[in-house]
Structure 1
Amino acid sequence: MISSWRRRRAAKREGKLQQQRSEDGEIEFELTVPREFRCPISLDLMKDPVTLSTGITYDRESIDKWIEAGNFTCPLTNQVLRTLEPIPNHAIRKNIQDWCVENRSHGIERIPTPRVPVTSMEVLKILSKINVACNRQDGKGCRDLVLKIKSLAKESERNKRCVVTNGAAGVLSEAFQAFSMATASSFDENVDVLEEILSGLTIMFPLDVEAKGFLGSVPAMQCLIWFLSSGDLSRRRNAVLGLKELVNVSSSSSDNRRKVNELSETEGAIEALFKLIKDPISPTSTKAALLVVYRIITSSSTKEKQVRKLVNLGIVPLLLETSVDAERSICEKALGVLDGICNSEEGRRMACDNALSIPVLVKKILRVSDLATEFSVSILWKLCKNGETEHGGSVVFEALQVGAFLKLLLILQVGCAENTKEKASEVLKMLNLHRNKMECVDPMDNFKDLKRPF
């Protein structure tokens, strides 16, 4: 009897089956994972055991999170780590896999052999070769190396972090600039490597200041515009994402303004962006194109000229049609661009002449988001203050007809930004002067889907 108990206790320590009785009296089996197979941090079965410089083995995912949190000591021994690159423990991994196979009849699945993550040394070696190939203008060699970097970055999130932290974005941006400068004489030879470099850069967004400096050079920007104007969907998507990254307001204001000015003055830029909005290829590219256009018409030194060009292309009806049933983010950006367009007399005239303008703007108030409401009120304020329809009827009358009065009253009640409140109050005063002159539609249709904030 005593020896039987000792055997059961030994089996438990060794990770063998232990028995216990369920509530209905039936014997159940519970499998205990051996202690040496468990990660000291998560206490779970290790899937990718790695050993630190202190000799302690952890699961890679757990120790990576520990190090990324800013810890540079061994969690178990508290010793300072001599290196942050853990070494795969193939012996323990093999033992864990064997144990999983032995217990597969009890529902234990064999852990797959993990891919060994890329090291900083490997990444730096590849980036050094890219620099050499770039200096030699070896397009094919550079393209093959960029494909290798892309493959590593896509393999896992850890690899991507390793690639980015070792300066891959700066090296690829510099290579893009270098091959862009050579396109005038040998574009057909370099287009493949440029396309591959740009594709690799999109994986590493957001870019640092150095990388943006290379990508924002005149030759590189001209190449981006050429890609944006080409028929290849992948090139167009990557190009507009690159332009969006360049005009991001996270850069210093002077540097950002310079890039926006250079972009607005690049031949064919406005036309290519308009085409991408008119014939969308994906929601991501549409959002990026709208954001770039917004930066151009609000920040560039030639914004009046660019607005005039966009109005002549037909941007106003396109933005209104886009806003009708678009998702929130696209709707916000389309209304933002329309607000910028309506700063010009041509833009306001085009908006007043469009039958969709006032109904769409009133409908979007309090229906999409706070930002969409702010843009809608701002546009309505500009049109009511300055605009007249081509038939001579006042925009104010049209706004009253579609229920703008009660919607603007509701804005003041539920609260909004101070600037929006001032514009809503001013529009209400203009509407109030004409309320007794005409019948207003029942505005309850506009509020039936409105969620109350209380």
Structure 2
Amino acid sequence: MMLSWRLRRAGHRGNKKRLGDNLDMEITIPTHFRCPISLDLMKDPVTLHTGITYDRENIEKWIEAGNETCPVTNQVLRTFDQIPNHSIRKMIQAWCVENRCYGIERISTPRIPVTRYEVSEICSRIVVATQRVDEKKCQELVVKIKNWGKESERNRRCIVENGAGCVLAASFESFASVSMEKHVDLLGEILTILTWVFPLGEEGQSKLGSTISLICIAWFLKSGDLSARQSAVLVLKELLSLDQRHVKAAAKIEDIVEELVKLIKEPICPSATKASLTSLYYMLSASVTSSEKMITRFVELGLVLLLLEILVDGEKDICEKAMGVLEGICDSKQGREVAYSNALIVPVLVKKILRVSDLVTEFSVSILWKLCKNDNRKEGGVVVEALQLGTFQKLLVLLQVGCGDRTKERATELLKLLNLYRDKLDCGDLSTDFKYLKRPF
């Protein structure tokens, strides 16, 4: 059985002189160069104990899917070890070079994936170096893990599965307790790796969620370079998502909230902005008592205005997170008072209904419901403004197209509130704009 590659005119202009007009000729790939699973040219050929050679990526997917037999021979695999087949790989590379004039690129020599034994060994050495407070040796080992992770997603999985996260979290806490300034380079390297080694396990969470570790993360948020600040906020977001106790502990650390808001006010990259918003959302959901205090801090830092600015132009993911934080803020009287004083909030909320995503629509309806239900100002206040901006029509459409039970309930209540003023006003249509409004920032 043969497999052919058909050369097409596009992308092979440099070969016109050599090929002449025969640009539709076919190049035949030798059968033994193809993976038996995908039938594609192998890039990293490995051989199982059954003697059959496969492309490493394909056979790993086969094994990870729960299969315990060789795909070709159907023999039960006594071991899942994969031995690199250097002979076949060199033959494939030579064939690619011979056919480079036809647009075939030479496959690169693959790096041998890291093994669980190598990960376990290096983790043991990090533990020893940490106990001795040997920063130089520890950093050397940490950088090695970092480089392994850069090589492939498979390496990252192997590192995570073999407990590196817990070891690194313990090392982070230990060196942070000695001196953050003195060990800043090592701590920064560990933070970079911690962004992709979650979950850490119970012990790892305990180490990274300790007071000294959180103080160190806050220190990086405030004093680190752009890369370190990004790593710090990504790690913090992952940690807060694991357990409410980490949220409560982080809320007590001075500067964390201020620095998260600062990352929103002065963004360094979209991922850092999303992580900051998510972290603030977790902090709002900690408890009724702590969230009231948290909202007070948010209001004092001008977060409501920042969220509205994000909502005007933000992309989908950022809008969803900003809406979630804004909804939490509007749970408190103080948060609603700030919202009432901002001329942009109702137009923005109405504009986002049925425009960005189902989640944004749910948050928009929920915030409007909270604002309208609790507005005791004369002449309707928010209710009248929402009605003039076409909210009544949008809610009717929303109920027709369908939504969640809670959103349906709140939309129905909103319609009842709006209906009290509907006959007295000349309502706007769905295309109502808010270009005439001046932003308060």
Q: Normalised by the shorter chain, which TM-score bucket? A: 0.7 to 0.9
Q: 1:438 to 1:35 in 2, by over 3 A?
A: closer
Give the alignment's Cα RMSD to 1 decimal.
2.5
Q: 1:294 to 1:113 in 2, by over 3 A?
A: closer
- Give runs of aligned pairs for residues 352-363 of structure 1, distance below 5 A: 352-363=340-351
Establish whether residue 348 from structure 1 lines up as the match of residue 336 from structure 2: yes
Q: 1:360 to 1:43 in 2, by over 3 A?
A: closer
Equivalent residue for 1:198, pick from 182, 191, 200 = 191
- Give runs of aligned pairs for residues 90-101 of structure 1, distance below 5 A: 90-101=86-97
Is the CA contact 1:49–1:58 (under 8 Å) kept in the aligned structure 2? yes
Equivalent residue for 1:433, pick from 411, 420, 430 = 420
Residue 345 of structure 1: how far off its partner (Å):
0.9
In structure 2, the partner of 1:262 is 249
Establish whether residue 220 from structure 1 lines up as the match of residue 213 from structure 2: yes
Secondary structure at 1:58's aligned position in 2? strand
In structure 2, the partner of 1:4 is none
- Partner Cα separation in structure 1 for residue 75 and residue 158 of structure 2: 24
In structure 2, the partner of 1:162 is 158
Establish whether residue 125 from structure 1 lines up as the match of residue 121 from structure 2: yes
Is the CA contact 2:165–2:199 (under 8 Å) kept in the aligned structure 1? no
Secondary structure at 1:244's aligned position in 2? helix
- Partner Cα separation in structure 2 for residue 41 and residue 430 of structure 1: 63
In structure 1, the partner of 2:362 is 374
- Give runs of aligned pairs for residues 133-212 of structure 1, distance below 5 A: 133-182=129-178, 186-212=179-205
Is the CA contact 1:177–1:215 (under 8 Å) kept in the aligned structure 2? yes
Residue 207 of structure 1: how far off its partner (Å):
4.2
Residue identity opposite 2:255 in structure 1 = G
Q: 1:426 to 1:133 in 2, by over 3 A?
A: same
In structure 2, the partner of 1:400 is 387
Is the CA contact 1:388–1:395 (under 8 Å) kept in the aligned structure 2? no
In structure 2, the partner of 1:297 is 284
- Partner Cα separation in structure 2 for residue 30 and residue 285 of structure 1: 48
Residue identity opposite 2:364 in structure 1 = S
Residue identity opposite 1:421 in structure 2 = K
In structure 2, the partner of 1:243 is 236
Is the CA contact 2:47–2:82 (under 8 Å) kept in the aligned structure 1? yes
Is the CA contact 1:332–1:371 (under 8 Å) kept in the aligned structure 2? yes
Q: 1:169 to 1:402 in 2, by over 3 A?
A: same
Equivalent residue pairs, number: 413
Q: 1:298 to 1:99 in 2, by over 3 A?
A: closer
- Partner Cα separation in structure 2 for residue 274 and residue 266 of structure 1: 14
Establish whether residue 309 from structure 1 lines up as the match of residue 305 from structure 2: no
Tell which structure's C-alpha radius of gyration is larger. Answer: 1
Residue 360 of structure 1: how far off its partner (Å):
0.9
- Give runs of aligned pairs for residues 438-453 of structure 1, distance below 5 A: 438-445=425-432
Residue 67 of structure 1: how far off its partner (Å):
1.6
Is the CA contact 1:228–1:239 (under 8 Å) kept in the aligned structure 2? yes
Equivalent residue for 1:338, pick from 326, 337, 341 = 326
- Give runs of aligned pairs for residues 97-116 of structure 1, distance below 5 A: 97-102=93-98, 109-116=105-112
In structure 2, the partner of 1:275 is 262
Residue 445 of structure 1: how far off its partner (Å):
4.2
Residue 195 of structure 1: how far off its partner (Å):
0.6
Query: Where does the alignment leave 5 or more consecutive residues of structure 2 unmatched?
Result: 5-21, 434-441
Residue 44 of structure 1: how far off its partner (Å):
3.6
Share of identical aligned residues, percent? 59
- Partner Cα separation in structure 1 for residue 101 and residue 270 of structure 2: 48
Residues 349-368 of structure 1, C-alpha deviations (whole Å, 9 max, x = no match): 11001100111111111111
In structure 1, the partner of 2:19 is none
Is the CA contact 1:273–1:289 (under 8 Å) kept in the aligned structure 2? yes
Secondary structure at 1:50's aligned position in 2? strand
In structure 2, the partner of 1:233 is 226
Is the CA contact 1:85–1:119 (under 8 Å) kept in the aligned structure 2? no
Q: Structure 2-normalised TM-score?
A: 0.86
Residues 176-198 of structure 1, C-alpha deviations (whole Å, 9 max, x = no match): 1222222xxx2222111111001
In structure 1, the partner of 2:397 is 410
Residue identity opposite 2:39 in structure 1 = L
Is the CA contact 1:352–1:388 (under 8 Å) kept in the aligned structure 2? no
Residues 231-268 of structure 1, C-alpha deviations (whole Å, 9 max, x = no match): 521121111111111121xx4xxxx1211111111112
Q: 1:386 to 1:97 in 2, by over 3 A?
A: closer
Which of structures 1 and 2 has the larger relative contact order (alpha carbons within 8 angstroms, sep 6+)? 2
- Partner Cα separation in structure 2 for residue 352 and residue 103 of structure 1: 70
Residues 280-320 of structure 1, C-alpha deviations (whole Å, 9 max, x = no match): 11111111111111111122451111111111111111111
Equivalent residue for 1:326, pick from 284, 307, 314 = 314
Residue identity opposite 1:377 in structure 2 = V
- Partner Cα separation in structure 2 for residue 442 and residue 278 of structure 1: 34
Secondary structure at 1:434's aligned position in 2? helix
- Partner Cα separation in structure 1 for residue 50 and residue 275 of structure 2: 48
Residues 137-164 of structure 1, C-alpha deviations (whole Å, 9 max, x = no match): 1122111111111111111122222222
Is the deviation greater in 101-110 or in 91-100? 101-110
In structure 2, the partner of 1:384 is 372
Secondary structure at 1:437's aligned position in 2? coil
- Partner Cα separation in structure 1 for residue 102 and residue 312 of structure 2: 57
Q: 1:111 to 1:400 in 2, by over 3 A?
A: closer
Q: Structure 1-normalised TM-score?
A: 0.84
Is the CA contact 1:139–1:189 (under 8 Å) kept in the aligned structure 2? no
Residues 98-134 of structure 1, C-alpha deviations (whole Å, 9 max, x = no match): 4444555666554332222222222222222111111
Query: Where does the alignment leave 5 or more consecutive residues of structure 1 unmatched?
Result: 1-11, 16-25, 447-454
Residue identity opposite 1:319 in structure 2 = L
